[in-house]
Amino acid sequence: MRYLCILILLFLTYNSFGQDFYFGNDLSSVNQMEDAGAIYKENAQPKDVYRIFADHGTNLVRVRLWVDPSWWQSPLQQPAGVKSFYNDIVDVTETIRRSKEAGTKVMLDMHFSDFWADPGRQLVPRKWIGVASDINLLRDSVYNYTKRILTGLNKQGLMPEIVKVGNETNGGFINQIPQDNNSFEVKSTISTSWARHAVLYNAAIKAIREVGATASIKPKIALHFTNKLSGQVWNYQNVINNGITDFDIMGISYYYSWHGGSIQELQSTIASLKSNFPNYQPMVVETGYLWTTKNYDSMANIINDPDPQYLPVCPEKQLEYMIDYTRAVMKGGGIGVVFWEPAWVSTACRTPWGIGSSQDHVAFFDPVNTNFMENGGGRWTEPQFYTDRATQKIIFKVDMTGKDMSKGVYVSGDFTAVNGNWKILPMLDEGNNIFSYYTFLEPGKTGAFYFLNGNDWNLRETVPPECAKANGTDRQYTIPNAQATFLYKFGRCDTPATLPVKVTFKVDMTGQDQTRGVFITGDVSNWAIVKMNPEGNNIFNFTTNLMPDDSLAYYYLTNSTWTDYLNYREKIPSECALVWNSDRRIIVPEVETQIGVVWASCNEFLNTSSHQLQNTQVIRIYPNPAIGKINIKAEFSLENSKLYISNTIGQVLKQIILQSKNGIETISVSDLPTGLYVFRIQNKNTFVTFKVMLQ
């Protein structure tokens, strides 16, 4: 009876919290990908892709509709089997049919354009250009088109549950003229008046309501805006002030890569929308997050910047990010989340910008075999993550410094139990010998756990008696009323002396060219060129997690490519170019810090760290250039120090544990080819970096 009550409680909780919540994925490109030869798989077996998503909890499919995309799609040279154009009403009808057959609801994303509609491009459909400046005739075109589309779908039993009027309409609605009839570039803007836009919005809304009045499905109406989270309340107050009031859903886009901010700010934004406009429902109708920074085809990736709170970039972190993201929307009072194009895999299909996919690094299918990645973000829609929003996210971490980690690192505990039996679960390698595993547990719960140095019960850690408070052999946890992390050294009671800390880099770009953006690179980003976020007054920032006492190089640029990068990087004065006489240096403090400098100068306008930059030279490496071997001489013991040997783009090629107590050690480098390398020696108190030429 007790277990029956628990099951009923879980069902009621999910029924009230999860089932009415939209777990959505935009599958607008699926039909074209399949025509191009993509075979979607799960567990290495071909499977209907709509069913794959539905089986993992997707209950809403978003699909993009263009008025007439034939004029720009037909000229593109496509591989055999691919039709001339997609995302017209014929293709969209097929997507809706397949979605409903898989048991999902549908959001029809009406762009009211022949081409992608977004904040910078809201092109009038080619067939309406002749009436574009006559608001009455254009209103009639919008009304008649909307009514015709929905009437046709309704007759086929394919009425969508949600109709979205426009796509990211910050810059207006159906208000731009293309350069010519065969161009998707903007020539001019008809009007920026929201009174004018309101006439067109209301024409589409009227048609939706009229068709829905006699249909078995009465679709909800969504609007859609995108910009920084802080501007969303203004967006909806603006449309309401201009007489656009007969809608149901306040849709927003929020991508970390494009909008900055944080998941916590997202939750606050959703809550603000709910509070300010109680008659409408907030919803994230578009988002996306990467699982790798690698590009698998010739077409450029478009979602490139990870949230620094979710590093390293990997499939597991994509899943964790999306779960936290969705729970934040739920807690803020939102009704759904839609992930954009998670099935746009790499094929030979052509777009106006190239061949392939801009989402191969974001899609939920591996780019080699198109197999659903069980460890990736595709599982974000599964109900198990949302059965009880009162639970807190709990992270278990272990420091494996000095241990052989070749067999992997694992955790077990009562929170892993299935039918009362504990399971051994793998932990994620976060770098710096730290491994993690997260789950969601009830506040106040007390339980037991321990770590294992391999997937074998015999490889569990021996927990010292003074901290084996559970069962006399295991570690014990008690869940607080907030997110928490339990971190220990393997087989010990103490926590690591150093934990990753948040560091924010800021640069003052006053008087500098910012047209291409502002970027940072160096050890602080594993030598990736990362775009910084503008915060106003010519200040740009970048936040990441770093290990205390690490000595790291970095500098700023005004371009995102390594091509001719010297023309765009800052020239740092010698007195603060402490790494390689060219780069800035930070010794990471033990507490959260912010460091702000003026471009190409040593002037600081912000430094919340108590650590000052130092050029400690208490270690020598010789000879340099070297052949076959290299000598290290330090003024202190090198026992348990680490030597990292990297190439010039920051990839670590070798990691060696030094053991010399007298500070003198000889290292063989005969296995490395001729070239320039970066040697970084990490000691408890000293971090020194050298450039070494091997011959």
Query: Any idea which fold 392-489 has?
Result: Immunoglobulin-like (2.60.40)
Query: What are the residue numbers of the active site?
Result: 168, 286
pLDDT tens digits for 417-469?
999 999 999 999 998 889 999 999 999 999 999 999 999 999 999 999 999 99
Instruction: Say if strands 593-598 and 530-531 run parallel, antiparallel, or are unpaired.
Output: unpaired
Contact 557, 529 (CB under 8 A): yes
pLDDT tens digits for 81-109?
999 999 999 999 999 999 999 999 999 99
What residue spans in the chain does CATH classification 2.60.40.10 cover? 392-489, 501-607
141 CB contacts (<8 Å, ≥6 apart)?
128, 131
CATH architecture assigned to 619-694: Sandwich (2.60)
pLDDT tens digits for 516-554?
999 999 989 888 899 999 988 899 999 988 877 677 899
User: Which range, of 214-218, 242-246, 372-376, 603-607, averages the lowest pLDDT?
Assistant: 603-607
**Amino acid found at 460:** R
What residue spans in the chain does CATH classification 2.60.40.3080 cover? 619-694
Query: Any idea which fold 501-607 has?
Result: Immunoglobulin-like (2.60.40)
Contact 187, 178 (CB under 8 A): yes
Query: Any idea which fold 2-385 has?
Result: TIM Barrel (3.20.20)
User: How high is the pLDDT of residue 132?
Assistant: 96
What residue spans in the chain does CATH classification 3.20.20.80 cover? 2-385
Rounded to whole angstroms, the Cα distance separating 81 from 77 reads 12
Contact 574, 583 (CB under 8 A): no
- Output the DSSP codes for 486-552: EEEETTSSSPPS---EEEEEEEE-TTS--TT--EEEEGGGTT--EEPEEEETTEEEEEEEE-TT-EE
pLDDT tens digits for 468-484?
999 999 999 999 887 88
Between 657 and 249, name the one with better pLDDT: 249
Does pLDDT of 678 surpass 90?
no
Mean pLDDT for the stretch of residues 339-364: 97
- Output the DSSP codes for 246-280: ---EEEEE--HHHH---HHHHHHHHHHHHHH-TTS
Nearest by Cα to 189 from 204, 200, 174: 174
